[in-house]
Amino acid sequence: MNGQQQKGGLPKESQVAGGFGFVTVEDRQKWEQARQLQRRPESAAKAFVKGFMSGMTEYGSKLNDARLRAEQQKAVEEEHEATLKKTTRRTVKDAETEVETVDIEQRDIREQLDPGFEF
């Protein structure tokens, strides 16, 4: 008689469960042990390259953010300076020159931002 079968020729519970796709705790343990044996430790060079690339990606991201903030700040400053400047109009009539200086009224053209979510 086959050692894998019980008396009467019927398969064991584990064989029936395996036939229907059930996974037992022992199966999971065997698979985990096999995975641990297949894993190789990461080499120092590979770990260095991964760390270096991660750092460079983060650095590039921060650099791009800083450039965007600088451009936005520059645009805001230029817009602010344009509202503060005085406008000078020159009108030439016949032979005499009239110089007219006009102050531009200071105005706040910024739009109110939504407060958004508070954390």
In a domain, 61, yes or no: yes
Report the amino acid identity of residue 31. Answer: W
Q: Residue 97 sits in which domain range? A: 40-105
Q: How many domains does the chain have?
A: 1
In a domain, 13, yes or no: no
Residue 1: band (very low, low, confident or very high) from pLDDT cuts 50, 70, 90: very low
Q: What is the pLDDT of residue 51?
A: 94
Contacts of 85 (CB under 8 A, 6+ apart): 104
In a domain, 2, yes or no: no
Quote the mean pLDDT of the chain. Answer: 77
Per-residue model confidence as pLDDT tens digits over 47-92: 999 999 999 999 999 999 999 999 999 998 888 777 666 555 555 5
Q: Say whether 97 sits in a helix, a strand or coil.
A: strand
How many helices (H) and strands (E) the chain has is answered by: 3, 2
Q: Residue 118 above 80 pLDDT? A: no
More confident residue, 29 or 24: 29
In a domain, 69, yes or no: yes
Looking at the chain, the whole-number percentage of residues with pLDDT higher than 90 is 24
